[in-house]
Amino acid sequence: MLLGVSMLDLARFQFAMTTVFHFFFVPFSIGMGLVVSIMETMYVVKKDEVYKKMAQFWGKIYLLSFAVGVVTGLIQEFQFGMNWSDYSRFMGDIFGAPLAIEALLAFFMESTFIGLWTFTWNKFKPAAHCALVWISFLGSMLSAIWILTANAFMQHPVGFVIKGGKAQMASFGALVSNPQLWACFPHVVIGAIVTASFVVAGMAAFGLLAKRDVNFHKKSMRVALWIGMIAAICEAGAGDYQTQVEIHEQPMKFAATEGVYTTTGDKAPWDIVADLDTKNHENKGAWSIPDVLTILTYHKTTGSIKGMNEINKELHKKYDSKFGKGMDYYVPVKTLFYSFRIMAGFDLWFIIVSILGLIWTRPSKDTIENKRWFLWVLGVTTYFPFIANTCGWFITELGRFPWTVYGLFTIADSVSASTTTGELWFTNIMYFLIFSTLGGVMVYYCKKQLDKGVDKALEGGVY
Amino acid sequence: MIDGIQPLQLLWFGLIGLLFVIFYFLEGFDYGVGMATHILARNDNERRLMIQTIGPHWDGNEVWLITAGGAMFASFASWYASLFSGYYILLFFTLFALIIRGVSFEFSAHADTVKGFRFWVWALFFGSLFAPFLLTMMFGSLIQGVPMNAAGNMSLGFWNIVNWLSIVAGVAGVLLCLIHGLNFLRLRIDDPDLSRRAQDLNNKLYIIAYIGEVVFALLVIFQTDFFQKRPISSIVITLAVVVFTVLSQIFNKTNHQAWAFITSGLTLGSVVVLLFNGLFPRVLIAQNPANSLLIKNAANGQLTLQVMTIVLIICLPIALAYIIWSYVVFRRRLKVQAEK
């Protein structure tokens, strides 16, 4: 203990910090892969040079996000062993396989084809060159599937047996057909597409505000807003679908995101804000809309939602023989409750601004340049997907408390025995400095590229 | 099977060795080129050219390290857990080196001031220097046996990590990567002057490499049990290291660039083979032999190994095919271009 902070706290803080930072850039780069692929495909189909420029200009942003995603991903692979070695020993038989498959199947594909794509603008015919970026996008999707396979097991362990105090794989098929995985995957990938769309639209808005490359940025904005609108609408559906799975698999997580302590009646109201008393485990009052929670949850007008207090009792009954009576099964309720509202609120925001943007940039009556306030709104929106993504992961990961593997292995048991508090303080501070620098430089270079203007940024080819 | 080791366990021990061999062969040269940006290059145009030779490949090469780590996790979770938590600080610095190096490629391309560009090339240089130094140092340290309890938790002191053998191993690793990188560079450029300078530098480096190899071999003999436990194979592989170096030097002198590159890569590869051969049938050597982590104990379950074997048989040939294709695409030699 140092400054009253335990090693476990530090290791948890580090995991949160490194994954949150990694998860700024991963969805960004997955989504940019699709946006750039679509732009280059439009070039191949329409043969209009402006789309080629678009793919190249936004492609450079794609490469930046990819680079930061790669290096922060390295930390992920190392830290399971470094900070969570007891977890790795317990879970390695199951958890290692998806990670290794991710490298073999996805990382080689992404890295090789993105390298080919970057340096062969003048080497291949447009259609062949365009195929390269699609393949690297496909690689990043595969990568998402495998890392989520690993995560899905932690949320909802399937296809295993416990042998000699360790989890052992009993069925690989069960691992990859985990309902948790296929509920989570669309939500994450569509979220990635939303992220990239609004970064491109937002940066293009800043470009228009500076009255630079007007035609280019307007066209980029339209492409991005189309993709963004479709994705943001689908995202609501994907989130709903994941919730349906969660209600059954992790009722505590679900009840916490809605702040439900005591089991509701058949017509549950939806709380917009609530006074949550986490000490006495009660919801002391809220602004709420009647019936809406029931409708959102069950897609029909009657149905009660089980409260955390009841779920807590059930969990004690289920696990006390194994983990003892001292366990606290309440998750960080306030964080989950507000994370959900911020995340869902931003999705609604994305749908609205993309529809407005598309209306005001329509070729028959294009007035967007005069609506400088709206360009500012779009510009600021650049940052919102990152907040929404982070909130989403807070719900997923904090909602798994107190487990690393749900119902099987606790967070407290997972941490490395040989690591010291001093080492963790050191690496936490260093990671913080590294991440602030990387993030700062990345934003700086994005802004710089925008300020330079399209032609200057693409001078001398892409490289 | 030998010592109760199952065939699949043996296969995966070998495969992890192979993945590290490929990693050193491929990423070895791009570490070398990264170092050459400040050891050989005389101006920014040459630096740009060097970065361009590895630009399309470095990321794919690094995936071999990620794959080796992932495969270790997937097939020997206890090995992965003990090793990564034990060498905590060393691996953190390795990560640091890999991070600054990884972003340096994109960031230097985006930098439009001379100062900014040079800053990121320095990041590339130091990253490329310290990544192989620290990784090879870790191997040099762990083969001597480490303080480890029965649960597999290490309690490494400073001198367990930093000692003669580990430092010599780290320096030798850096040196061999530099030689290998210069050989790669010569293959990829159309610049007689730079190529000539790389050749001359290598001529000197081979001499230092011999000294390094001899000192390394002597320290391995005295500081590890490799030559007592597996004398014949250890001697044969050590000789292979030297023979490949000699061949590489001759090919470099006679200007057989491709062969010089292949043999310098095989030199690095044989060093890895020497280490894995000496480790067998253990994966981690504890100072108290009873606590050593053995292949048969550290291995994951049979089903996981079967699944991983099938995945590998399907994925690896496909990956190798497009990786090789990417080298074919970028086979044309590059010239120094005037300032952008």
The residue type of A3 is: L
From chain A, pick out residues whose CB is under 8 angstroms from the CB of B315: 101, 104-105, 108
Residue A300 covered by a domain:
no
Domain residue limits at A405: 24-263+306-457
- Residue B163: how many other CB atoms lie within 10 Å: 17
Residue A293 covered by a domain:
no
Mutate to test the interface with B, among A82, A143, A436 (most CBs of B within 10 A): A82
Which tokens go with A116? 């080919």
Instruction: Mark yes or no for CB contact A111/B112 under 8 Å.
Output: no
Instruction: Mark yes or no for CB contact A112/B323 under 8 Å.
Output: yes
Helix H or strand E encompassing A163: strand A160-163
Give B243→chain A minimum CA distance, Å.
32
Residue A372 covered by a domain:
yes
Residue A5 covered by a domain:
no
Preceding peptide of A402 cis, ω within 30°:
yes
Name all contacts of B228-235 with Cβ < 8 Å and 24+ positions apart.
B229/B278, B230/B277, B230/B278, B230/B280, B233/B277, B234/B274, B234/B277, B234/B278
Give A82→chain B minimum CA distance, Å.
4
Give B106→chain A minimum CA distance, Å.
6
Alpha-carbon Rg of chain B, whole angstroms?
20
Interface of A with B in 78-117 (CB under 8 A): 78, 80-83, 85-86, 88-89, 91-97, 99-105, 107-109, 111-116
From the list A342, A315, A345, A340, the residue with the least C-alpha distance to A328 is A315
Confidence of residue A6 (pLDDT cuts 50, 70, 90): confident
Give the model confidence (pLDDT) of A234-275 as tens digits: 999 999 999 999 998 899 999 999 999 999 989 999 999 999
| B70, B98, B107 ranked by CB distance to A103: nearest | B70
Cα separation, B166 vs B168, whole angstroms: 6
Cα separation, B208 vs A48, whole angstroms: 57
Burial class (CB in 10 A: 0-12, 13-18, 19+), A357: buried
Alpha carbon distances (Å) from A174 to A84, A153, A237, A358, B181: 25, 10, 25, 43, 45
Residue A14 covered by a domain:
no
DSSP secondary structure code for residue B333 in this structure: P
User: Which of A21-30, A450-459, B241-250 has the highest average model confidence (pLDDT)?
Assistant: B241-250
- What pLDDT does residue B169 have? 97
Cα separation, A126 vs A52, whole angstroms: 9
ipTM of the complex, rounded to two decimals: 0.93
Give the model confidence (pLDDT) of B18-60 as tens digits: 999 999 999 999 999 999 999 999 999 999 999 999 999 999 9
Residue A275 covered by a domain:
no
Which chain A residue has the Cα nearest residue B154?
Answer: A418
CB A253 within 8 A of CB A401: no
Chain mean pLDDT for chain A: 92
Of the candidate ranges A51-55, A199-203, A407-411, B115-119, the one whose mean pLDDT is the lowest: A407-411
Could you say which residues of chain B have pLDDT below 50?
Answer: 340
- What pLDDT does residue B337 have? 76
Which tokens go with A3? 């400054």
Interface of A with B in 15-44 (CB under 8 A): none
Residue A445 covered by a domain:
yes
- What pLDDT does residue B340 have? 44
- pLDDT (average), residues A320-331: 90
Structural domain total, chain A: 1
Cα separation, A193 vs A31, whole angstroms: 4
From chain A, pick out residues whose CB is under 8 angstroms from the CB of B340: 459-460
- What pLDDT does residue A420 have? 86
Half-sphere exposure of A362 (CA within 13 A, CB side): 8
Looking at chain B, the whole-number percentage of residues with pLDDT higher than 70 is 99
Cα separation, B54 vs B330, whole angstroms: 10
Confidence of residue A5 (pLDDT cuts 50, 70, 90): confident
Instruction: Mark yes or no for CB contact A111/B63 under 8 Å.
Output: yes
Interface of A with B in 434-453 (CB under 8 A): 434, 438, 441, 445, 448-449, 452
CB B291 within 8 A of CB A80: no
Residue A446 covered by a domain:
yes
Residue A463 has pLDDT above 50, yes or no: no
| B85, B102, B312 ranked by CB distance to A85: nearest | B85
